[in-house]
């Protein structure tokens, strides 16, 4: 300002002598104006710089946490800080000793934390100047522990030389020179706040990751544990149960979506979670043809797995009706009789009558439903099975070990077993051999991933089928050698003895005649081992009319 005044006085002095020496005045006047313009410009730039420096300080620093380097606000802030100290900086930490600041980046891009220092801090003998702009919450380096508590209230965490507050837009930690209440502030740490609501240690809380994903649910020991949902940045949501931070699958029982498990492998997280969440555990039993059954000890459910290890049937007893549902049975109660079921669901496409009750069969687009009734015609249970023509397998979902597993000859390893043979469009197609993880193997023809055509299947119990297949099922003409030494030769339909066939029993007897869905039904003759013949009309394995 003194220089500015001096120049003005010089201007007026020259002005009084304008007539004495006009040329000198003209030259000096030009110089004076140039000086005035330069000083005004310098003053303007200096003023503007001070204003811009203060655009992001104090509580405004909160806005930087969680933002990328490409964000306009961050770019502007970093430009104002100037050159970082390269000797004290890395990809994840940028250091500014002349600004009393260090900035931490998550994955080298997102601002994860900002540390502000007073003039007592140094790194590798490089001394920091005090951060001179406004501190958050209108604090200053003169504030003490006591004054901080008076201004901000009780901290969420308190230690001898620092206090932490988690009730602000970001987590803020105030560091002090000592442990006494009058110890002065020496540093302020602002860091990304993950837990934005509730208790993310032991309770229920909302936790936000730096990449934008968000978990809402239960916690234990600081890890996702219990029921919750994880919402990704792109909007995809994963609901279910977690254990020690690991996703364990959906809550099929609580959501009444148990049948969504059909088609899943028994080693999948969904099936494991659904099985383990049943009270009292379960028993695993090997059935014929290397199928498996889970019998739950609460007497509510049974899971059935095929030779691929895929869940193909869920059986629900009356006591489990309240925990599962299906669109076709949502209006049917556990104690509905046959008349009410027929009224609600219509007539079944097939009925089976037994001494202990009966079974009605229904179909929808995806499932086969078998409704079981007791001898009093009251509902006793429901079985839901994947349709025969839609048998779900996961054998192709594996890794190609050798060869061409797209269109050629290759070897593929999956959770269902090992396949060696021809591929077409990444599916088993042509001649090949499938060694199932359950124990047996099939050698023969495949089509679109399924057993189709002529082939031989030998199960782990040494039972064997040689014949025709369709959609993974015995279909056409073939012979079946059973574990108990009996043998069937004849026609098959959807894995069942159906049509004309002969059955040879271990005791020497044999039946030749008609079959319907695994039972002797129609014209046939039973040849007994004593030479006697029972010839006539058979129904469900019993001779009804002899001739």
Looking at the DSSP bridge assignments, the partners of residue 454 are 468
pLDDT in tens, 489-537: 999 998 999 999 999 999 999 999 999 989 999 999 999 988 899 999 9
pLDDT, one tens digit per residue, over 258-272 is 677 888 888 887 788
Please indicate whether residue 7 or residue 368 has the higher confidence score (pLDDT). Answer: 368
Q: Residue written as tokens 């202990």?
A: 356
| Residue 455, Cβ density class (10 Å: 0-12 exposed, 13-18 middle, ≥19 buried) | buried
pLDDT tier, 246 (very low <50, low <70, confident <90, very high otherwise) = confident
Mean pLDDT of 25-53: 42
Q: Of the candidates 483, 450, 482, which has an alpha carbon nearest to the alpha carbon of residue 468?
A: 450
Spatial separation of the C-alpha atoms in residues 179 and 169, rounded to whole Å: 26
Confidence of residue 43 (pLDDT cuts 50, 70, 90): very low
Sheet holding 246-249, edge to edge: 195-198, 203-208, 214-220, 223-231, 237-243, 246-249
pTM: 0.50
> How high is the pLDDT of residue 248?
67
Task: Decide if 15 contacts 22 (C-beta within 8 A).
Answer: no
Quick one: CATH architecture of 398-546? Single Sheet (2.20)
Higher pLDDT, 210 or 483: 483
Q: Which CATH number fits domain 258-390: 1.10.1790.20, 3.40.50.300, 3.40.33.10, 2.40.110.10?
A: 3.40.33.10
3-state secondary structure of 66: coil
Region at 60 (left for phi over 0; alpha for psi -120 to 50; beta for the rest): alpha
The pair of structure tokens assigned to 332 is: 């049917």
Segment 165-187 shows an average pLDDT of 92
Pairing of strands 533-539, 542-546: antiparallel
Q: For the chain, which residues make up each domain, given as ranges?
A: 2-53, 58-193, 197-249, 258-390, 398-546
Predicted pLDDT at 387: 63
State the average pLDDT for the chain. Answer: 82
The confidence band for 50, taking pLDDT boundaries of 50, 70 and 90, is very low
Question: What span, in angstroms and rounded, lies between the C-alpha atoms of 161 and 76?
Answer: 34
Tell me which residue of 33, 202, 173, 184 sits closest to 115, measured CA to CA. 173
Phi, psi torsion values for 479, nearest 5 degrees: -120, 140
Residues 315, 367 contacting (CB under 8 angstroms):
no
pLDDT tens digit string along 321-345?
655 555 555 666 667 888 888 887 7
What is the spatial distance between Cα 199 and Cα 170, in angstroms, rounded to a whole number? Answer: 16
């Amino acid at each position: 300002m003194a220089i500015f005044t001096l120049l003005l006085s010089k201007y007026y002095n020259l002005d009084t002598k304008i007539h004495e020496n006009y040329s000198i005045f003209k030259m000096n006047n030009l110089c004076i104006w140039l000086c005035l313009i330069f000083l005004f410009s310098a003053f303007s730039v200096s003023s503007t710089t001070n204003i811009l420096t203060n655009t992001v300080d104090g509580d405004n620093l909160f806005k930087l946490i969680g933002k990328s380097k490409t964000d306009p606000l961050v770019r502007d802030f970093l430009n104002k800080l100037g050159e970082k100290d390269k000797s004290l900086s890395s990809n994840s930490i940028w250091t500014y000793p002349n600004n009393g600041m260090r900035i931490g980046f998550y994955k080298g891009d997102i601002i994860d934390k900002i540390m502000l220092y007073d003039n007592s801090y140094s790194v590798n003998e490089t001394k920091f100047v005090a951060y001179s702009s406004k501190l958050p919450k209108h604090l200053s380096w003169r504030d003490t522990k006591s004054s901080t508590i008076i201004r901000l209230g009780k901290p969420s965490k308190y230690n001898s030389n620092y206090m932490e507050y988690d009730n602000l837009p970001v987590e803020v930690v105030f560091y002090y020179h000592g442990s006494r209440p009058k110890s002065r502030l020496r540093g302020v740490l602002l860091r990304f706040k993950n837990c934005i609501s509730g208790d993310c240690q032991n309770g229920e809380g909302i936790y936000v990751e730096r990449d934008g994903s968000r978990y809402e649910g239960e916690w234990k020991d600081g890890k996702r544990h219990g029921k919750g949902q994880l919402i990704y940045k792109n909007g995809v949501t994963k609901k279910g149960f977690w254990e020690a931070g690991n996703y364990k699958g959906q809550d099929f029982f609580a959501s009444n979506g148990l049948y969504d498990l059909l088609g899943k492998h028994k080693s999948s997280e969904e099936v494991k979670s659904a099985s383990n969440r049943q009270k009292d555990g379960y028993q695993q039993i090997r059935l014929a043809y290397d199928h498996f059954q889970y019998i739950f000890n609460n007497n509510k459910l049974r899971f059935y797995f095929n030779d691929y290890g895929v869940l193909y049937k869920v059986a629900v007893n009356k006591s489990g009706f309240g925990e599962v549902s299906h669109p076709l049975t949502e209006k049917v109660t556990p104690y509905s009789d046959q008349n009410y079921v027929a009224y609600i669901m219509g007539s079944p496409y097939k009925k089976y009558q037994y001494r202990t009750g009966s079974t009605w069969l229904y179909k929808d687009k995806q499932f086969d439903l078998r409704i079981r009734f007791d001898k009093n015609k009251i509902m006793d249970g429901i079985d839901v099975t994947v349709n025969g023509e839609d048998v779900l397998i996961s054998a192709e979902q594996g890794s190609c070990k050798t060869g061409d597993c797209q269109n050629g000859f290759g070897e593929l390893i999956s959770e269902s077993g090992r396949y060696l043979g021809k591929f077409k469009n990444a599916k088993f197609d042509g001649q090949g051999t499938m060694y199932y993880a359950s124990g047996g193997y099939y050698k023969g023809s495949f089509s679109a991933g399924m057993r189709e055509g002529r082939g031989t299947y030998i199960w782990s119990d040494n039972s064997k089928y040689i014949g025709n297949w369709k959609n993974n099922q015995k279909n056409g003409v073939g012979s079946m050698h059973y574990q108990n030494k009996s043998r069937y030769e004849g026609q098959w339909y959807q894995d069942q003895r159906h049509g004309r066939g002969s059955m040879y029993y271990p005791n020497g007897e044999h039946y030749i005649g008609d079959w319907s869905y695994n039972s002797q039904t129609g014209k046939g003759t039973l040849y007994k081992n004593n030479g006697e013949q029972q010839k006539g009309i058979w129904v469900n394995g019993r001779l009804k009319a002899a001739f």
